[in-house]
Structure 1
Amino acid sequence: MLPFIPRRGALLGAAALLWLCAAPARAAEVSVAVAANFTAPMQKIARMFEQDTGHTAQLSFGATGKFYAQIVNGAPFQVLLAADDTTPARIAREGLGDGATQFTYAIGQLALWSRQPGTVDAQGKVLASGDWKHIAIANPRLAPYGVAAMQALDKLGLTARVQPRVVLGENIAQAYQFVASGNAELGFVALSQVSEDGRLREGSVWLVPAALHDPIRQDAIALKGAAGNPAVAALLQYLRGDRARAVIQSYGYSF
C-alpha cells in the first residue's frame, strides 16, 4: 500500500505520522575510540551492531590517556569507550563531550598472566619469588589497568621488589604482547585478553582480588562531534542491551 500523502497545505494525518515514524533511519557511521583492553569484545559487538541496526562503527584502539590527548587536540572521534570513569568525566567538565551520555559499560578484571602453564599460581605468590626476570605493566600514566597494577603491588608490599624488573607497555595491549612474545615472563593484563566464556586460552593466570585496587569502571561518553549522528545514540543504547552485555560478560567483565 502506498503511504498516505496529505493534500497540499493540509496537516499530516495520524496514518502519515505513523508511517514516517516507522520508516527506517538512514544508516550512518560512528567513529569510536576504544580502550585497548576492550578490543576483542568491541570487535564482536561492532559486527553485531551493524547486523542489527545497519549502522557501522569505525574502531580505533589504544590507551585512554593517549585518546584524551588526541580528543583535546581535535581528533574526530564521536564516542570514547574509556578504560576508566575519570577520563570521560574530565572530558565532560572540559566541554569536550556530553556528560549526560556518560555511563559504565563494563567493570574490568585485572589479571596476572604468563603464557606458560604452571608459572602463575592461584594466589599470585609468584610475584614474591625470584624465578622470573621481567614483568609487563601498562604505563600507569596512560592506562588505568597500569594504575590498578601498581596499586595492587603497593598493597602487597612488593613495589620496591618488582619495580626494577618492570617493562612498561604503552597500553594494556602492548603489555599483553610483551608476555605473549616471551619478552616478559609475567604481565598484568585484562582478563578479557586471555580468556573467553570463562576459559583461559593458554598459560596460567591469577585473578587479582578487587580489594587490591580501585574498581576499574570503564565508562562511555559521546563526544562533542557526535551531534546529529544517529549512529552515536544507537551505539550507546546497543552497549546497554542484552546482546552486547552477553558478549561483555563472556570476556570476564561485570557491570
Structure 2
Amino acid sequence: MAGLALWLALCGTARGADVRLAVAANFTDTGNELIAAFAEATGRQASASYGSTGKLYAQIRHGAPFDVFMAADRRRPELLEDNGLGVKGTRFTYARGQLVLWSPQSGLLEAPETWLASKDFTRLAIANPKTAPYGMAAREVLIRLDLWAPLQQRLVRGDSIAQTFQFVATANAQAGFVALSQIRAWNENEGSLWRIPSAYYSPINQQAILLTRGERNPAARQWLEFLRSETARSIIERYGYDTRN
C-alpha cells in the first residue's frame, strides 16, 4: 500500500508535465528557478520531486515514474547506470556543492573550529550521512576535527539537507552543516557562516542522469541539454555552486 501511495503521489505531482525530475533537496530553490527558465526558453513544463538523494534513489529503484535524476552525489547515478536504470553516456556533473556551517545568530562562528570543540551548544544539525551526501561531507569534517565521536549526543539528523536547514532556521539546533545554496536563498539575516575549506571533505559532485523511463522522452533530453547551457550555469552559480569541470 505504501508503494502504491508513493506512485500515486508522484503521478499527481507530474500531471501535465513534459518531464519529471527527481532532485536532491539542497537544489530546491535553484531547481525551481531553473524550471521557470526552462519553460521560458523551451515552452516545456518540468515538475520536480525534492528529497534526499538516498531516498530518491530508492524510489527510482522501486519504479517511481521519473525521467531524470539530479542527485547530490555521483555514486547513485553511477549505480543506476550500472543497474540498467540509467542511460549510459548521459551522466554528468551539473553542479559542485559547497558545505558550510551556519547559524542565524550573528558572531557565533567567528572561530568555528574552536566553537565546535568547545561543545558550547546543545544541538548541532547535520543531514543523515546514510542518505544525504551533504551529511556524509559533514561527517568527514567532524572526523577530520576529531569531533565525530565526542559530538554524537549533540547531533540532530535531518532526513534531507532541507530538513537540516529547517532545524537551524527554527532554532531547534543552534547551528548546522548545510549547503551554501540554502543560505543564498535565505530571505532573512545571514547570521554567521563558516565556509568550510574544500580540503576538509570529499568533493560534492552533483550528477544528473537520464533514466531509462525517460529515454524516449524528447523533453527529458532537452532538460539535460538546458542544464549545460549558459543560462542554467549562470543560475546555478548564483546559488553558490561551482559548475567548472
TM-score > 0.5, shorter chain as reference: yes
Aligned residue identity for 2:98: Q
Contact between 2:91 and 2:210, CA under 8 Å: does it hold in 1? yes
Percentage of matched positions with identical amino acids: 49
1:63-102 equivalence runs, <5 A: 63-102=52-91
Counterpart in 2 of 1:150? Answer: 139
Counterpart in 2 of 1:42? Answer: 31
Aligned residue identity for 2:82: R
Counterpart in 2 of 1:191? Answer: 180
CA distance in 2 between partners of 1:87 and 1:203 (Å): 33
Equivalent residue for 2:22, pick from 9, 33, 52: 33
Aligned residue identity for 1:53: T
Counterpart in 2 of 1:18? Answer: none
| CA shift digits 1:43-102 (9 cap, x unpaired) | 001001001101111111000100111011100011000000010000000000112100
SS in 2 for 1:100: coil
Whose radius of gyration is greater, 1 or 2?
Answer: 1
Q: Give the deviation of 1:124 after TM superposition.
A: 3.7
Q: Verify: 1:203 aligned to 2:201, yes or no.
A: no
Q: Verify: 1:139 aligned to 2:128, yes or no.
A: yes
Counterpart in 1 of 2:155? Answer: 166
Counterpart in 1 of 2:205? Answer: 217
Contact between 2:100 and 2:193, CA under 8 Å: does it hold in 1? yes
Question: Structure 1 residues 45 and 59 mapped into 2: Cα distance closer, same or farther (>3 Å)?
Answer: same
Question: Structure 1 residues 165 and 28 mapped into 2: Cα distance closer, same or farther (>3 Å)?
Answer: closer
Q: Verify: 1:229 aligned to 2:217, yes or no.
A: yes
Q: Verify: 1:251 aligned to 2:243, yes or no.
A: no
Q: Is there any run of 5+ residues in structure 2 with no aligned partner, and where?
A: 1-15
CA distance in 2 between partners of 1:207 and 1:225 (Å): 38
Counterpart in 2 of 1:129? Answer: 118
Which has the larger share of strand? 1
Q: Give the deviation of 1:163 after TM superposition.
A: 1.5
Q: CA RMSD in A?
A: 1.7
Q: Give the deviation of 1:128 after TM superposition.
A: 1.1
CA distance in 1 between partners of 2:82 and 2:89 (Å): 11
Q: TM-score, normalised by structure 1?
A: 0.86
Q: How many residues align?
A: 228
CA distance in 1 between partners of 2:97 and 2:219 (Å): 25
